[in-house]
Every structure is written in C-alpha cells, then in structure tokens.
A and B are shown apart, each in its own frame.
Chain A
Amino acid sequence: MLKVIAFNRLSQTAYLCLGLLALILLPWLVGFTGGNYWVRVLDFALLYIVLALGLNVVVGFAGLLDLGYIAFYALGAYSFALLASPHLPQQFESVAAVFPEGMHFSPWMVAVFSIILAALFGIILGLPTLQLRGDYLAIVTLGFGEIIRIFMNNLDRPLNLTNGPKGITAIDPIQFLGISFAKPLDLGFVQIPGLYLVFYLFLLLAIAVAIICTHLQNSRIGRAWVAIREDEIAAKAMGINTRNMKLLAFAIGASFAGVAGVLFSAFQGFVSPESFTLWESIVILAMVVLGGIGHIPGVILGAVVLAVFPEVLRAIVQPLQNVIFGHVLIDAEVIRQLIYGLALILIMLYRPGGIWQKSGTK
C-alpha cells in the first residue's frame, strides 16, 4: 500500500517536473517553428488566463454575472500608461516640473497601486448593485463598463488626461531588477528574447493567480461563495454575510484584472479605449463559460483555447478561402465572432458544465 502511495507521489512530482520543463521550453519551440507572432499569441493567452480566472471568481464562485469586468483591466492599464509614459508631463507643465526626467514608475509599484484601485472600484460598483437580481446586475455592470470606456474616450478635454480615442503611447516596457523586457537578455551561453522573458513572467503570474484561486476555492470563503451561488437565502441562514462575501468576490476579481492591465499596458507599450470594449468582457466571459463556470482547470483551458484558436483560424481560414474562392469571403474576425456567439449558445444548451467538466457535475 505504501509503495503505491509513494509511487503515485513520485509520478505526480515527475509529471509536474515534466510539465514545467515543457512550459519552459514552449516559447523556444513556438518561436522556432512559428516565429515571434506566435510567441506574442502565447503571451496574450497567459494574460487572458489571469483575466478569465479573475472573472471566474466573480461569476463562477459567487455567481455574479459581471459584464463590465473589462473596466478593471482598463483601470490597471491606464494607471500604468499615465504613470510611466511621457503623456502627463507633455500635457501638464506642473507635472513635468515635478518629474523632470519623465514619469517612470515601476510596473511593480503601479501593480500594487492598481490592485488597490481596482478593488476599490469593485467595491464601489458592488455596493449599490449586489442586492440586484442576476440579470439586472449583468446589465448594470455592463453599463459601468461602458461608462468607464466613455470616460477614457472623452477625457481629453478640457484637460487632456487620457488622450481620448488616440490612446497613450510610448509606455515604458516591463522592467525587473534593471532588466528591460523589451530587449533580449544576454546570459552569455544563450540570448533570451524579450518576448520569451515576458512569457515567463506572465506564466509566473498565471500560476500564482491559479494557486490563489484554488486556495480560495477550498477554503471557508470558497464554500461561502458557492453557497451564495446555490441559494442565497439558505446561505444567509447559515450566518453568512452575503453582501460582504459578494463584495469580496468583486474586489478580488477586479484586482486580478487590475494587475493584468498594468502588465498589458507595459507589454504592448500603447493603450487606447478600443482595447476595453464590451466585446472584450464577453470574450473573457466566453472563456469562463467554455471552460466550465467555477472549474479552475477548465477555465484555464477555456482561456487558452479561445485565445489561441482564433489565431490559428486566421492563419488557416484566409489562405484557404483564397485558394478555394480566389478571395476572402468571410473575414477571420467575423468567423471569430461567429464562433464566440455559437460557443456561448451551444455550451449553455448542450454542455453547461463547460468542455472540461468538474467531476461530479451531471
């Protein structure tokens, strides 16, 4: 008996090591076969994993449909954009005076700041709305997301805070211990391209977030969330302060998005309101739904599939149409939207537990 347990433990650790090794080698493999474009796709996929896990806390654990989730991502992204780019010093002489060398706040400081900011906004949004029924909550959060986007789009007058639809450019890249992730890292025996460094960083973040979510799920707090999701009245009867628990879910989910936003901003070097539309909120929702609402491994899978698949599609479908029809009949973007729409409907109709269901779900 002990031998079996020991063997299982051994094989588990072995699998874990193999898995980690595979992940470490992944960007090299992809970069070699597909080029930088595909490594970028992977980098974004990791960001989406963080976002999907964050939304999963709100939708999957506490059962609150937040259709304005992308707003928290926007808050994080714009925070860093404003604190680490030439925009504010250029617009306001008073700022330029305080920061003669420009604003170059470190992404880590801004990340901490945006965790607090996003959580705060999450609570502000949640306080008046958490007593609402599911569908009302969805629409109100949608409205909130739109309000944030409208502000981002219009706060370029009378004072130019966000540069409106043009967005903010020349944002500092990610820096860690003096190493800039925009340039390759020269280790002597190997040169690690910046994109690969970003991959490893985002991978660490995604793993950290996944672990945090798992710990929360298997705790007193996670149980309370599921109870609220299943039957809020019964949850109250258990002595659970449902309002505070829901606010907590909102705040935690928001803070994940805030951090992801900061990193996105630094990675892309440029932000504009177009990256933060309702469609993006729906994309993340689709990832959570596809993976199985509430099921952490499923959500990760859903995020990866929905982040990578449309790119694969784009690479195949357009040349294919050219070959068959001589020109592109249906744009890859349109196909992507079609798939998302169908996925949401079909999953709800035929496999509501997601493509990778939690064991025990019927």
Chain B
Amino acid sequence: MDIFLQQIINGLVLGSIYALIALGYTMVYGVLGIINFAHGEVLMIGAMVSLSLLRLMLDLTSGLPTWLILLIVLPFTMAVCAGVSYAIERIAYRPLRNAPRLAPLISAIGMSILLQTIAMMIWSRNPMTYPQLLPSSPIDVWGSGATITGKEIVIIVVALMVMSGLLFLVEKTKLGRAMRATAENTQIAALMGVNPNRVISITFMLGGALAGLAGVMIASNYGNVHFYMGFIPGLKAFTAAVLGGIGNLQGAMLGGLLLGLIESLGAGYIGELTGGVFGSNYQDIFAFLVLILVLVFRPTGLLGEKVSDRA
C-alpha cells in the first residue's frame, strides 16, 4: 500500500501526457482513417523548440518569474508544432490519399526519420538538459508517504484544462461540428459546405499543438531532451488511443489516463509479482502488451471505435 498511492500519482501524470498525445492520433484517425506515424516526432520538436526558446528567454531576461517565461514560450512552441504537423499532412499524406494503403504509412515513416535527422542537425545528436522552471520539490500528500511535486500538479492541471478546451471546441463550436461531420462521412460533409481539406489541416494542427505541449511536459518532467524522445511516448500514446477506442476523443483521454496508471502500477509492482525476475526496466513492455491484447480481444477499444469500417 505504501507505493500504491505514489504509483497512482505517477500514473496520473504520465497518463495526462499520454492523453494529450493520444488525442492527436485519434483526431487524425477520425478524419482520415489513418495512423499518423510521425506524430511522436512532433512532440520531440516541441521539446526542442521550447528548449531553444527557454534558453533564449533565460539569456535575454532576468528576474522574470518562471511561470511567465513558460507562459510566453508555450504558445510559440505549440504554434510551431501545429505548423510541423500541418506540413506532415501536406507532404506525406495529402498527395497519397488515393495511393494504396501502405504508401502513406511508409511515407510517414520517412517523415519521422526526416524530422529526427533535422533535429539532430539543428540541435544535437546528444541528449541535452532541459531547464527546470517549475517547482520540483516533493510535497507530501496527506502524510501518506507519497509525494507529488509542483511540476506534476501543473502538468495534470494544464492537461485537464486543455482537454476540456478541446472537448468544448469539438462539441460546441462550428469548427467542431465540421470536424465531427468530416469524421463521420467526408463526402456528405463536403456536400454540406464543409471544406474537408481545411478541416483535415486544422485537425492536424490541433493535434500537433497538443503534442508540442506534451513534449514540453515530458521534457520538464524528465529534465532532458534528445532527438529520439518522441518515439516511445508516441507509440504508447497510440496504444492509449486504441485502448480508449480510436476515433473517440473521450476514449483517447480515458485510454491515456488508464495506460499511465497501468504502466505505473505495473512498473511498481512487477518486481514483487515476479519474484524479482522482471524489474521496472521492463516498464516499456506494458504498453506493447496492452496494445496487442486490445487489438486481439477488443479492437474497438473501451469506448468503441467511432469510425465505421471502410470495407
């Protein structure tokens, strides 16, 4: 019981981040029916760009409160990531709309490599440290022995706020209606006056912005960045999206939180459960196992796939 609460807290932090990334996957799947393989790299670019901006701001200014610096850097970062995501769609997906199914996937893999290489060239091949601007001193939680840091609280709160904002956008605004219509049936939506290409672009940009935010969170949480950092979180977030029901926004959020919890609890207890044979260094495997199990036994996910089968 002593580590249970701690792992729950860790799981919620992890899960919030996964949820943000998973939303990008699920929205794109909703409107295009494909998995955006290069999505993970967008979060890496977000971390990198924010690193540069933060370094710049820290050099140029002094005495500015850290939260203000973050508040300034974040929108820029998210905007850049939106742009990168937009570019991915235009270059790797749009020209291949009518190509055989494997083509956009292969092209996305190429895009993923390209983005990593660009990051290597612009920034560095080696890991770099990320400035810690948020309070990282552990706060005791209700005297239970578990701790949480200010940083982690900020991550969870910001993630929740952004997710609510997105839900509001999708459910209550005209743009959101257009997105939902395009996800249901692109042709009919077009007949209703929706511009599918515009909606698709906006969907990618929104997903990209969220990924950028997640990238900043990951960098803040772990204190470093490197060009390969998008791959594993991207994969896990995809698992989260599938777990929740791909195409389903609430599913992505639920899946993200759930996966974070599963991973944390799993990593925390695996040593005990397996008598020391497997340790927490096997943490990454949980996500893959969840993915395989979900796809084999309940491919529509917990909340059900919203997009009909394109047989």
Find out whether A and B make contact in their complex, taking CB atoms under 8 A apart as touching.
yes
Cβ-defined partner of A144 (8 Å) among B35, B100, B288: B288
| Residues of chain B contacted by A289 (CB below 8 angstroms) | 106
Asked if residues A142 and B235 are in contact (CB atoms below 8 Å), the reply is yes
A337-B117 contact given A344-B106, A348-B110, CB 8 Å threshold: yes
- Is there an interface contact between B235 and A139, defined as CB atoms closer than 8 Å? yes
| Among candidates A147, A157, A285, A349, residue contacting B95 with C-beta atoms closer than 8 Å | A349
A282 touches B113 (CB 8 A): yes
User: Does A334 contact B109, Cβ atoms closer than 8 Å?
Assistant: no
A65-B105, A135-B34, A343-B110 are known contacts. Are A334 and B281 too (CB-CB below 8 A)? no
| A139–B111 alpha-carbon span in the complex (Å) | 16
Contact segment of B49-57, B68-76, B175-183, B292-300: B292-300
Our pick among A136, A147, A282 for the contact of B109 (Cβ within 8 Å) is: A282
Verify B92–A345 contact, CB threshold 8 A: yes
Kindly state whether residue A340 has any CB partner on chain B within 8 Å.
yes
Is A240 part of the binding interface, using a Cβ–Cβ cutoff of 8 Å?
Answer: no
Known: A65-B102, A341-B117, A342-B114. A147 touches B285 (CB 8 A): yes
Contact B111 A341 (CB under 8 A): yes
Residue of A nearest to B92 (CB): A345
Q: Give complex CA distance A135, B106 in Å.
A: 10
A143 at the interface (CB under 8 A from B): yes
> Do B282 and A345 have beta carbons less than 8 Å apart?
no
What A residues does B210 contact at CB under 8 A? none
**Beta-carbon contacts of B238-260 to A below 8 Å, as 1s and 0s?**
10001000000000000000000
Please measure, in the bound complex, the distance between the C-alpha atom of A269 and the C-alpha atom of B299, giving whole angstroms.
43
Residues of chain B in range 86-101 having any CB-CB distance to chain A below 8 Å: 91-92, 95-96, 99-101
A53 CA to B277 CA in the complex, in Å? 38
- Report the separation of the CA atoms of residues A133 and B291 in the bound assembly, to the nearest whole angstrom: 14
Q: Find the A residue at minimum CB distance from B276.
A: A158
Q: Tell me whether A129 and B120 are in contact in the complex, defined as CB-CB below 8 angstroms, given that A136-B35, A142-B235, A143-B288 are known contacts.
A: no
Chain A interface size range: 35 or more
Tell me the bound Cα distance from A140 to B311 in angstroms.
Answer: 21
- In the complex, A138 has a CB within 8 A of chain B: yes
In the complex, which residue of chain B has the Cβ closest to the Cβ of A132? B295
Residues of B within 8 A of A345 (CB): 91-92, 107, 110-111, 114
Name the contact of B105 in the complex, choosing from A128, A129, A135 (C-beta under 8 A): A135
Interface contact A132-B285, CB-CB below 8 Å: no
Residue B231 at the A interface, CB < 8 A? yes
CB–CB A337/B120 < 8 A: yes
| B residues near A342, Cβ cutoff 8 Å | 110, 114
Instruction: Flag if B96 contacts A140 (CB, 8 Å).
Output: no
> CB distance A278 to B117 under 8 Å?
no
In the complex, what residues of B have CB within 8 A of residue A129's CB?
A: 292, 295-296
CB <8 Å contact, A348 and B106: yes
Q: Is A63 an interface residue (CB 8 A)?
A: yes
The answer on a CB contact under 8 Å between B235 and A143 is yes
Residues of B within 8 A of A346 (CB): 110
Q: Measured between alpha carbons, how far is A135 from B25 in the docked complex, in Å?
A: 12
Chain A CB within 10 Å — which of B112, B116, B288 has the most? Answer: B288
Is B272's beta carbon under 8 Å from chain A? no
Contact with A along B201-241 (1 / 0, CB 8 A): 00000000000000000000000000000010001001000
Residues B167-208 near A (CB distance < 8 A): none
Q: Does A154 contact B (CB under 8 A)?
A: yes
Asked if A150 is at the interface (CB within 8 A of a chain B CB), the reply is yes
Instruction: Give A132 to B296 CA distance when docked, in angstroms.
Output: 8
- Are B238's CB and A139's CB within 8 A? yes
| Docked CA distance A337–B37 (Å) | 17
Report yes or no: B101 in contact with A134, Cβ–Cβ below 8 A. Answer: yes
Nearest CB of A to B127, in Å: 16
Q: A142-B235, A289-B106 are in contact. Are A150 and B282 (CB under 8 A)?
A: yes
Q: How far is the CA of A145 from the CA of B35 in the complex (A)?
A: 19
List 26 A-B residue pairs with CB atoms under 8 Å apart, sorted by A's residue number. A63-B102, A128-B296, A129-B295, A135-B101, A135-B105, A138-B35, A139-B238, A143-B235, A147-B289, A154-B281, A157-B279, A289-B106, A330-B121, A334-B121, A337-B120, A340-B110, A341-B113, A343-B110, A344-B106, A344-B109, A345-B111, A345-B114, A348-B99, A348-B104, A348-B110, A352-B100
Q: Which residues of B line the A interface, CB within 8 A?
A: 34-35, 37, 91-92, 95-96, 99-107, 109-117, 120-121, 125, 231, 235, 238, 242, 276-277, 279, 281-282, 284-285, 287-289, 291-292, 295-296, 299, 311
Assuming A142-B235, A338-B117, A348-B106, what are 19 further A-B pairs, CB within 8 angstroms? A65-B102, A67-B109, A138-B35, A138-B105, A139-B37, A140-B292, A143-B235, A143-B288, A150-B285, A154-B281, A334-B117, A334-B121, A337-B116, A340-B113, A341-B111, A342-B114, A345-B91, A348-B99, A352-B99
